[in-house]
Amino acid sequence: MTASVILYDPTAPRAAVGKAAPAKPTLEGLSGKVVGFIDNAKPNFNLLVDDLAEFLTTKYGVARVIKRRKRAASVPAPDDVYREFTEQCDLVITGSGD
């Protein structure tokens, strides 16, 4: 039996960009990229992150996954996490569990 997964892109269509506004970069693929996950500390998100990290690595060739957990859902991640992800990640996913 073969399983399939449907992935939906939650981003809105891009608006026309005028000459004064810089274009937003997009990824052409995930192969060789570094993906960061910010875990909001709710139950079970860490389990989802582990599964997603393995899936993205094996199926899409993600080179590396960086996972960081916030101390609570109600507080932002520490500034050093944002700096680390800005310097090292091509894509960052933040999520919620329960």
Residue 44 lies in a domain: yes
* 43 found inside a domain: yes
In a domain, 91, yes or no: yes
Asked if residue 25 belongs to a domain, the reply is no
What single string gives the DSSP state of each residue in 12-76? PPPPPPPTTSPPPP--S--TT-EEEEEE-S-TTHHHHHHHHHHHHHHHH---EEEEEE-S-TTSP
Into how many domains does the chain fold?
A: 1
Tell me whether residue 7 is in a domain.
Answer: no
The segments of the chain whose pLDDT lies below 70 read: 1-2, 5-24, 97-98
* 15 domain-assigned: no
Whole-prediction pTM: 0.72
* Predicted local confidence at residue 7, as pLDDT: 66
Q: Is residue 73 part of a domain?
A: yes
Q: Which domain holds residue 43?
A: 34-95
